[in-house]
Amino acid sequence: MPRKSKLVGVLLLSALTYLAWQWMPVPLPSQWSDEQRALIESLALAQLPPLPDDTGNAVADDPLAARFGHQLFFDTRLSANNEVSCATCHMPTAGFTDGRRVSVGISATERNTMPLAGAAYSRWYFWDGRKDSLWSQALAPLEDPREHGMSRMEVARLISSTDSYRDSYEQLFGELPALEDSDRFPSRASPLGDEQSKLAWQRMDESDRYEVSLIFANIGKALAAYQRKLLPGPAAFDHYVADLQHSSSATDSSAMSRAQLAGLKLFIGKAQCINCHNGPLFTNNDFHNTAVLSAPGVLPAAGRSEGLRLARSDPFNCTGKFSDADASECIELEFARGGDDMIGAQRTASLRNLADTAPYMHAGQIATLEEVIDHYVAADIAVIGHNEAKPLNLRAIEKRQLRAFLDALNGDLATDDQWLLEPAR
């Protein structure tokens, strides 16, 4: 055989061997080890504890507050153009997201809409954690000119002037102040927003500003009471774990495919996903820099380093005068990790119901789950801060198996249908 032909043959054989290795299936365990079984069982929804108390929200579990919040959540009158409600971006039919790269209310924002199912289990809110409670989180979009565009005074006036809202509010929080005096209570006033609103707010007496802000805070508490009803339901993975508890074999259950089982093995092992995506909601609710690039034309986000500063200065935080919590219950706000070592760090998103929540990452930069996996396999250098992720030596078939496992985390919500439909007025 000529030397050139022999070389071509060697190269061809090497290429075929490499391709065969790339597509060689991950061997399935006939039995999970005790450590693997414990990890797998820790991820099941059956391990999800009862909803944590929200000490800053005295009406968090009040049925009337949930019904009131349900009404507010779908009400487009809570916007400057009467066209935007909370449900505009948090659509029940789309996993309480909107399918957009970034959320769009009155205009476009810079962040992807985070889902709400199971959000009550988190300690921090928004991608950068700039809010420390579910109720204070609910307030920010109302005053954001790109989202609802309302002034704080307009929110208070809507509650006061709507008979059903006034009745619900006063049953929960006590008598509303009279807001008819336009000299004391201008039609549009807020510490945020346009210059006219801010100037009108500054001219108000401090006691009147407090009364309006108290109404505003209580609206957030009612919205949070509703959002605590939004919980994920069991998926194929959870059915598999239930079957596993009655069998010593890893493959006895038909709840997950062989590819999904191989993906699960990777998830808790070689792919290192469980390092951040752990617990029954598949998130540690912490913050990590994984070198996700900024959206085109947008500067890199400071992330948690800025978010924690904002949370600590927020008048609606755990220690603020509108919170129902005792200062001793707000220790995490004081001792939370932030600063320069958290530059670029974003909150770890839940992996449940990913089929409903594309595109992905904090600014919707990644369109598909295949691309998300490729991002973590590459683990490129971060533009700002330090990439905590390390490159993964995953073969093509392993990436496909890991992707298949993520489909096993899609399930219906464990929420009564009445809470998912727009209520009658």
Q: What is the pLDDT of residue 15?
A: 46
Lowest-pLDDT range of 111-115, 133-137, 212-216, 336-340: 336-340
Q: What is the pLDDT of residue 280?
A: 98
Among 150, 183, 140, 2, which residue's Cα sits nearest to residue 78?
Answer: 150
Lowest-pLDDT range of 5-9, 25-29, 297-301, 352-356: 5-9
User: How confident is residue 295, by pLDDT bands cut at 50, 70 and 90?
Assistant: confident
pLDDT at 16 over 80: no
| Mean predicted lDDT score pLDDT of the chain | 93
Does the reported pTM lie above 0.75? yes
Mean local confidence (pLDDT), 295-302: 84
pLDDT at 63 over 60: yes
- pLDDT tens digits, one per residue of 243-293: 999 887 888 889 999 999 999 999 999 999 999 999 999 999 999 999 998
Q: Are 33 and 269 in contact (CB under 8 A)?
A: no
Q: Which residue pairs, CB below 8 angstroms and at least 24 apart, start in 320-325?
A: 321/210, 322/213, 322/214, 322/217, 323/56, 323/133, 324/55, 324/56, 324/57, 324/58, 325/55, 325/56
Q: Which residue pairs, CB below 8 angstroms and at least 24 apart, start in 21-26?
A: 21/395, 22/395, 22/396, 22/397, 23/395, 23/396, 23/397, 24/395, 24/397, 25/258, 25/262, 25/397, 25/401, 26/262, 26/265, 26/266, 26/397, 26/398, 26/401
289 alpha-carbon distance from chain centroid:
16
Q: What is the pLDDT of residue 284?
A: 96
pLDDT at 409 over 50: yes
Q: Domain 28-48+233-412 class?
A: mainly alpha
CA torsion sign for 241, 243, 249, 250 is negative
Q: What is the pLDDT of residue 23?
A: 55
Q: From CA 267, how far away is CA 408, in angstroms rounded?
A: 12
Instruction: Give residues with Cβ within 8 angstroms of 404, minimum separation 6.
Output: 257, 259, 260, 262, 263
Mean local confidence (pLDDT), 395-414: 97
Higher pLDDT, 189 or 27: 189
Q: Where in the chain is the domain with CATH 1.10.760.10?
A: 28-48+233-412, 63-230
> 3.75.10.10, 2.40.110.10, 2.60.40.10, 1.10.760.10: which CATH number matches 63-230?
1.10.760.10
